[in-house]
Chain A
Amino acid sequence: MKFCVCIKQVPDVTAPIQVRDGALVMDAGRVVLNAYDASAVEAALVLTEQHGGEVEVVLVGPERATETIRKALAMGAHRGTHLVVDEGTPLDSHAVSALLARHFEGAGCDVILTGKQAQDTDAGLAGGMLAERLGLPYATNAVGLALEGDTVVVTRQGDTGQEVIALPTPCLVTCSNDMNDPRIPNLRGVMQAKSKPLASERVAEVPAPRVRVLGYEPLPQRAPGVRLDGEPAEQAAEVVRRLAEEARVI
């Protein structure tokens, strides 16, 4: 079975970030493999270890994002494809899914996996968009993934419970980070990754994004809170009094 995993390089959201004149200012060097995509890579590796097959990772991004493909190869993916765009090219889910769809036409993937969203934008659209463009059945927000012959069995987290859905191949699944703990590449993996096949294709034409980012602003600050001191019984009495009389929520 051939697994194709779409991955993204994202800014490290735990790094210091500021807004200056409506733009995000952060250390351009602090970039990581999107955590949800790392779970998708891990899921594909586990299934190929159990059932055989191959894992290809595909990334849309500027030159420097190659290091993120190497990271996935170091985890154990077999080959990578880098769809290269110029640094700073505006991309939204619409544009990225169109580029990926073009790549996957005729690529022979049995299961396309991706993270359920990217850590930086939290949009969560590209997976569903890609499935629709390719006419594939799909499931999102998977917390469990198994193979039964040619059937992919997805456990997804829904609104009121976990939905167990069977999909035929080819299909697409977006993965939650609650699915697994992605392996940390070891030294051997890192060394092997250097000689794994990595195809690089320059994107000739990037589709125009449908969504424009006009700017960034800080979150509105919450009013400062109050600390309640004293013995537990005093703290309890005081918070209940304030919840009833001040906040009027009980």
Chain B
Amino acid sequence: MTAPPTLTVGLVGAGGIARAHAPAWRALGADLVVHSLAGAPELAAAHGGRAAGSLDELLDVADVVDVVTPTPRHLEVAATALAAGRHVLCEKPLARTGTDAVALLEAARAADRQLYPGHVVRFFPEYAALRAAVRAGDVGTPAVLRFARGGMFPVWSPWFADDAQSGGVVLDLMIHDLDIARWVAGEVTEVFATRRTVEQDGAPHALAHVVLTHADGAITHVRGLWGAPHTTFRTSFHVAGDAGVLRFDSAGAGGVRTDLPPVPSGGQDRPAPAAGESPYLTEIREVARAFAASPTALPESDPRHPRVSAVDGVVAVEIAEAALASIESGAPVALDTAARARALGGTPLPPHDTPDLVTTGSRA
């Protein structure tokens, strides 16, 4: 009996999220090849991989591709990898615009390859526990939900501050909770958002609020902050239903609490989970299992399909885009994510009171 060949992962990009993904791939025993405009040799060296001089060179050796570039490059890099017959894990947001996200989804369909968005918060145990409990009916019918997420303004890489490239705090940061809100409370019918950006003493700040109306009447507040340089990264939620309340605050969770110097430089640490292994490892293990399951696309109904689909990634971008449109116009924006999910070939999320069936355990 021979050992299966080692999976070679092509990591495109060498920034903060690459530093979170690289050790997860290595922990699963994959070989690592890194290509980036800057920093690839250093990242490869730090994680026992090697650098590739070009995307073509990377595609020559990589079995699957993990796209961790800045958002504006996602479509081009991921579509190229898909066209070359590679499965792709693409960091969130799937693309800067809904149009580009749909184009990427279509590229995956045309190539008959797997594409998953890196919505890692679905793999954080506290959010997975929330979702499972709500689906099990523990809080009854969800009524009013609040999600908050924030940290220091990401000044370590200039593209974050450019709305045209990143979509700002709404598309880059709050998309996590916009996706989670839909995952927990169901499809979305209306989006209203406000945002205030202030530059003070050369330091940018951005605070945004998004209010979602869900198909069955639940309402959700999502608050995102790119704040002052000392801001500790923190996430929280409060989910009230007619039979109970569930809440979490990363500031009060976990068995270890430290507040130690120095002020982070060169990027803020990725948020730590409340407990257990790195959620990036959980995410990548689930994605790697799907990649290994089939050389071609995997239907959402397959139990080996990850808990997040490319359609989910497109819909998350479209919700964030609606929020940006609401900020721009000052008025609510109607949308129908159930219809969109259907039109994109996905399955709309079931209503809150339908517990997941064992046969669709991949979405549990």
Are A and B a genuine interacting pair, yes or no?
Answer: no
